[in-house]
Structure 1
Amino acid sequence: MERPNKHAPVPFIDLAAQYARLKSDIDARIQTVLNHNRYILGDEVKELEAALATYCGAAETVSCANGTDALILPLKAWGVSAGDAVFVPSWSYCASAEAIALLRATPVFVDVDPLTYNMDPASLRAAIEGCPSDLTPKVVMSVDLFGQCADYDTLTPIVREHGLKLLADSAQGFGSTLNGQHPIHWADAATTSFFPAKPLGCYGDGGAIFTDDAELADTLRSLRMHGSGTDKYDNVRIGLNSRLDTMQAAILLSKLSVFEDEIAARNRVADRYNAGLAQYVQVPQVMDGVRPIWAIYTIETDEPDALQAALGEVGIPAPRYYPKPIHRQTAYADYPTGAGGMAVTDAARLRAISLPMHPYLDVATQDRIIETVKAALH
């Protein structure tokens, strides 16, 4: 019998395995779209929006072209603009702050909890109360980093106390729950991204906004279609061209049918990692009451660069999220950090490294990853 190649490349996310499972259904759904030719806002888009709303308990779902637009659209609908402050974690992908800056508002960076990496409530309060006098606090944008929803039970009272809107950026966390509730239970709007690498991803770009506010949903539908009104040639506001195409909606409908099963599989993979690595690295911590979806499995070690090199030598990808947080990036260096500082973010960025994570990671391959990590650190 041929022995497995110990240096065979390991996919960080195995979309090919997922497609093999869903191939007949995805192919049939794509063919249906090719047959009816309604490539923009076809019936599959409406079907997906309804299914997503049911899944996360939202009254309304508005799909759009990508996860960044999903953040821009509600901020724009709320009138966020120059002179307004939006409080956001720095340890996130740049899109979280980019959406704010593109509207000429000011991102104010907030530190994160050292265990969950999500927005720290004490840091948020300090940032709001110490907000520069030339800015008007408007929105708190939480980020459900790495697939674990934020501490909404603690964050929400702070947001409401100061009369702000709460926008939950769930690009990495759609499907994660706190005490059985999705983030929209607390937020004025929640968003997700359907970028292919996300746990619920399409084969291109896509995004969605969830809300219980029917008026906001109507405004979002207008904004995603150039600010359209009832008359096709009388646009009533300045909007975007940000529609989810029908083909991607068809693919997402297929993937949504196995999403819960895949989340369960991701949690089994995470449990195996935790059991195998807890004595060697700092494994991820999950807040009480949270069901994570493990978009990214991130550990901490004193030697992340050496570990990344050792894993890479045997074909195991181990990217670093995020060695340069947003407040340290060139385009965002002049924006303010909250009054509480960024000590946790700046410490975690030096130690964090991520391992392959997907529902189709078999035990033998995962054992190979675990043993490689252990060998590299001893």
Structure 2
Amino acid sequence: MPVPQFPLPPSAPIQLLDLRAQHAPIRAELDEALRQALDEAAFIQGPAVQQFALELSEYLGGPHVVPCANGTDALQLALMALRLPRGAEVIVPAFTYVATLEAAAVLGLVPVPVDVLPDTFNLDPQAVEAAITSRTGAIVAVHLFGQCADLEALRAVADQHGVALIEDNAQAIGATFRTSRGEFWVAGTVGEVGTTSFFPSKNLGGFGDGGALFTRDEARAAYLRQLANHGQTRKYHHEYIGLNSRLDTVQAALLRVKLRYLSQWTAARQHVAASYDAALADLQTISVPARDPRSTHVFHQYTLTVADEPGRRNALQQHLAAHGVPSQVYYPLPNHLQPAYQYLGYHAGQFPVAERLCRTVLSLPIHPTLVQEQLAYVADVVRAWA
């Protein structure tokens, strides 16, 4: 069998995420924002925090924005704001990052995993409806990898059964969903509360941890702010049990700069995805990411699915690594099979789509600074294996 002939590797090494290259063109603006924050020395609840909240609200179409310390805290605060009784059930995807379950579990709530759709990897609305009981308090929809879950169907299910809808929007900031009535809904602003993360790898990433909550309910926003600040509105007077969960001023100042470029970076990610699609769409043993035509896709990840044969996904990952192409498996183990959640009583085979995805998904490099030479090389390496 002839050995595949690869083009020469690109002149610059390929990174799964290249924050240094992304920050380089805006370094002067970042430096100035940092200098101003240091000069003001208001490191907790400084002016940049409120300014960032207002600017992010405008970007998202006007919800109240409540900054907090990280995306996991945001999920926990969102659930706290619902005042659910201990033992209430929270429906979550079986295929997602563990923080979605963790936020419920630490509050004494019961995570109830349900399976996801095989094409978009997002919550299956029919599975959600089937899992609702008299104990269900909330549905947490994760907009995975940058594409909206079926917001219209999930909103309808939540309303029909009188439960809350929470949106985990850590991976899809700026994505939109077109309803059957022609309305455009912004991801993170449709549920009772939406959450996001500013972890450095996110599309709008900070320089450390950070997060935020979104709601269109003014009273709920005020309550969330109070919960995030030790349950107080007046110093040393605590009306509720809360958290110490604040976005620090330095992070807010730097995020204000990056927010100005988010639309530009999203367009660049979409260009990368389109280039991969064009090069890889005809392969028989690999599937490119499916698109829900109702949703925009901001491509936090570009995730292939590989034929479900023992060792095949791992073989592709090893082949990529051997040729200088990094990749990552998001996620290798479904949450119902994680050791920490065995107490819930689930077992292998209960959520077959999630379990298959954990065996078959593989994410390629995607970030705004990938150039055509690098994209072509990645595609050539994948095609040579397939």
Query: What is residue 277 of structure 2 aligned with on the other side?
Result: 274
**TM-score when scaled to structure 1?**
0.94
How far apart, CA to CA, are the structure 2 residues paired with 1:158 and 1:181? 17
Q: Which moved more, 1:181-190 or 1:256-265?
A: 181-190
Alpha-carbon distance in structure 2 between the residues aligned to 1:82 and 1:141:
17
Which residue does 2:3 correspond to in 1? none
Task: Give the ranges of 4+ consecutive aligned residues of structure 1 lying more than 3 Å apart after TM superposition.
Answer: 3-9
The within-5 A match list for 1:249-264 is 249-264=252-267
Q: Which residue of 1 aligns with 2:315?
A: 306
Q: CA RMSD in A?
A: 1.7
**CA shift for structure 1 position 341:** 4.1
> Residue type of the partner of 1:165?
A
Q: Distance in 1 between matches of 2:85 and 2:372?
A: 50
Residue 227, structure 1, aligned to residue 227, structure 2: no
Confirm or deny: 8 A CA contact 1:7 1:315 kept in the other structure: no
| Separation in 1, partners of 2:337, 2:124 | 19
Could you say which residue in structure 2 is the equivalent of 1:243?
246
Residue of structure 1 equivalent to 2:84: 80
Q: Determine the C-alpha separation between the residues in 2 that align with 1:109 and 1:283.
A: 26
Partner AA of 1:37 in structure 2? A
Structure 1: segments with no counterpart, 5+ residues: none
Matches within 5 A, 1:76-115: 76-115=80-119
Identity %: 39
**Alpha-carbon separation, structure 2, partners of 1:283 and 1:241:** 42
> What does residue 173 of structure 1 align with?
172
Q: Determine the C-alpha separation between the residues in 2 that align with 1:6 and 1:15.
A: 18
How far apart are 1:206 and its partner, in Å? 0.2
Partner Cα separation in structure 1 for residue 62 and residue 244 of structure 2: 24
CA distance in 1 between partners of 2:305 and 2:40 (Å): 50
Q: CA deviation at 1:264?
A: 0.8
The number of residues matched between the two structures is 368
Q: Secondary structure at the match of 1:289?
A: coil
TM-score w.r.t. length of structure 2: 0.92
Change in Cα spacing, 1:21 to 1:6, as seen in structure 2 (3 Å) is closer
What amino acid sits opposite 1:226 in the alignment?
H
What is aligned with 1:374?
383
What secondary structure does 1:107 align onto? strand
Distance 1:163 1:298 in 2: 34
Q: 1:83·1:106 contact (CA, 8 Å) conserved in 2?
A: yes
8 Å CA contact 1:6–1:314 kept in 2: the answer is no
**Residue aligning to 2:138:** 139
Post-superposition offset of 1:283 = 0.5
Equivalent residue for 2:374?
365
- Provide the rounded CA distance (Å) in 1 between the counterparts of 2:53 and 2:345: 37
CA contact (8 A) 1:175 1:293 kept: yes
**Residue pair 1:58, 1:211 contacting (<8 A) in 2 also:** no
Equivalent residue of 2:92, what SS?
strand
